[in-house]
Amino acid sequence: MAEIKIQISRFAGKINMSSFIYQIESLFGTLLLLFLVQTCQGAYEIKLLHYLDDSNFSTTRGVVEVHNVDSNDVTFRQHPLNPGDIKQLKALAEKDAFYRMDIVIQQTNKKDIVLSTYAKACSMVESKLHDSFNVYLDHNNNVVGISLLPYENLCSGKHVTDADLAAFRSKMYFYAPENGPVPDTLSYIQKIEREREAREKGGPKDNRSFLQKYWMYLVPLAIFLAVSGAANPDAQSGGGGGGAR
C-alpha cells in the first residue's frame, strides 16, 4: 500500500501509471476471485451419465450436489438400475468391456465442462455398484479431471445376483494440487550464520594440557621403550658377559 502511495505521488510517465493500474487491478482481481470462490462452492452440480453398451448413447445415472469441496461434502441422487440396464451391464462384464461414464460439471458463470472416465465393467459388477469418485481440482478450484474407482479392483469371476445390482453406493473425494517446493534458503542462511559464530567463538578451545592432547602418541612410545628395554637387558647380560671374558 505504501508503494502505491509513493508511486502516485511521484507521477512520472506511462510506466508508473501502468504499474499503478496493475496494483489496482490485482486488488480487484483477488477480491473478485474470493467472491467467486465463495459463490462457486455452493452452486456446484455434477451430472453423471453412463454408457451401458458399446454405442455412443449415454443414459443419466444421477446427479451430485457439491456442498463443500474441503470436507468432501456431497449429496448423491442416483437412479437405481432397472432390470434391462442390469442385463446390459452384465453383458458388458462378460465381454470384458469397459463401463464408461461422462461427467458434466455445471458451474455458475462458467461453461459446462464434460469429462470422461471408465472402469472395467466386471469390477463394477463384482463390487456390487459400490464405487468412489476422485475429483481433481486445479489451484482455482476448477474441476480438471475425475476418476471412477470401483470398490473391487480386480475381477475374480464372482457371481453377483441381480438384486445386488439395483442401487449405486458412491462416495466422492476431492483432491487439490500440492504446492511446489521452493529452495530453502532461509535455513541455509541461518546455518551459515551459526557456523560463522561458532568459528569465531570456538577459537581458543584447545586449552587442554599438552599431555591430555598427545597422550595417544606418548603411551605407545612408552610401551615400546619398556618392551625393548626388557628385551635388551636379557640380550645385554648375555652379550656383556660374553664380551667381558
Partner 1 sequence: MLKYLLLAVLCIAQTHSLYEDQVGKFDWKQSYVGKLKFSHIDSRANIKRIYVASEDNAVASLSLGSGTLLWRQVLEKGPQGAIVYFHYGANSLVTVSFNGLIRVWNPNDGSLLAGWTLPLNIRHVKFMVDGGNFYAIEVSSAIKTVLVHTYKLASGSLNDVVKKIPATWLTESTYCETNQNVLACLVQGSVKILFPSSGGQTQILEQSVPSATFLTPVSSAIGLPSFKAGNVVITVNNKNIETSQIECNSVHVDKTEDTNKVLAICVRPLSKSNIEVDIFISQQKISSNNLQLKTQIAQSDINVQSCFCKGSSPSCFCILSSQDHTTLFISTQGKVVWIREEALTSIISAEFLDLPVSDVDAAIEKEFDNQECGYFEMFTRRLMSQFYQIQTLLSIESPAFKSSALVRDKFGLHKLILSVTSVGKVFAMDNLSGKILWTLYLANVTPYSVTGKQFAPVFVQRSTRYVPYPAQVSILFKQSTSKEGVLFTLDPITGQLIHGDQGQKLGYQVELSTLLPGVNKNHLRGILLLDSNNQIHLEPPSSPVPKPYFIYKVHPQFGVLTGYFVQEDLKLQKVWELNFGQPVVHVASKNPVEKVHSQGRVLYDRSVLYKYLNPNLIAVATHTPDNVFSIHLVDVVSGNLVESIIHKRTMGPFHMVHSENWLVYVYFNEKTRRNEVSTVEMFEGKTQSNSTAFSSLSKSLFKPILDKQSYILPVSQVDAIKETITEKGITSKHILIALGTGSILEMPWMFLDPRRPAQVTPDMREEGQVVLEYTPELPILSEAIINYNQTLYGIKNIHTAPSGLESTCFVFAHGLDLFYTRVAPSKTFDILKEDFDYALICLVLGALIVGTVVSKKLASRKTLKQAWK
Partner 2 sequence: MNYYLSLVTIVISLHVVRSQEVDSTQEKHDIEGRVLAPTHDPSWISSTQVYIRGGQFIGFLKDDGSFTIKNVPTGSYVLEVVNPDYQFDPIRVEINSKGKFRARKVDYIQLSKITPLPYPLRLKTIGKIKYFQTREQWRATDLLFNPMVLMMVAPLFLIMILPRLMNDPETRKEMEQLQSMTKLDVPEMSEMLTSYFGGAPKKPKAAVKPKPSASKLQAGSSSG
Binding partner 1 (rule: CB under 8 A), the pick from 31, 114, 219, 226 is 114
Cβ 143 vs Cβ 113: under 8 Å:
yes
Q: Is 149 in the site for partner 1 (CB under 8 A)?
A: yes
Counting contacts by CB under 8 A, is residue 37 touching partner 2?
no
Q: By C-beta, is 114 or 226 nearer to partner 2?
A: 226
Q: Which is nearer to partner 1, 109 or 209 (CB)?
A: 109
Per-residue interface string for the shown chain with partner 2, residues 17-36, x marking contact by CB under 8 A: -x--xx--x--xx--x--xx
Residues between 200 and 229 with contacts to partner 1, criterion CB under 8 A: none
Q: Quick check: helix, strand or coil at residue 131?
A: strand
- DSSP structure string for 67-81: EETTTTEEEEEEPPP
C-alpha cell at 47: 451430472
Q: How far is the CB of 145 from partner 1 (least distance, A)?
A: 4
Helix axes 2-10, 14-42, angle to 10 degrees: 150
Q: Which does 75 bind (CB under 5 to 8 A by kind): partner 1, partner 2, none?
A: none
Among 16, 72, 78, 116, the residue binding partner 1 under the rule CB under 8 A is: 116
The least CB distance from residue 176 to partner 1, in Å, is: 8
Residue 83's SS3 state is: helix
> Quick one: what does residue 157 bind among partner 1, partner 2, none, with the CB cut-off 5 to 8 Å set by partner type?
none
- 13 sits near partner 2 (criterion: CB under 8 A): yes
Smallest separation, CB 116 to partner 1 (Å):
4
Distances (CA, A) of 154 to 120, 163, 195: 9, 21, 56
Which residues in the 226-245 window bind partner 1 by CB under 8 A? Answer: none
Which letter, b or e, does each residue of 1-27 get, where b requires 16 or more Cβ atoms within 10 Å of its Cβ?
A: eeeeeebeeeeeeeeeeeebeeeeeee
Query: CA dist 202 to 48, 194, 209, 210, 212, Å?
Result: 70, 12, 17, 19, 19
Q: Which is nearer to partner 1, 35 or 214 (CB)?
A: 35
114 vs 189, beta carbon nearer partner 2: 189
Q: Which of 88, 102, 18 is nearest to 53 (CA)?
A: 88
Residues that bind partner 2 (CB under 8 A): 12-16, 18, 21-22, 25, 28-29, 32, 35-36, 108-109, 185, 188-189, 225-226, 228-230, 232-233, 235-236, 239-240, 243-244
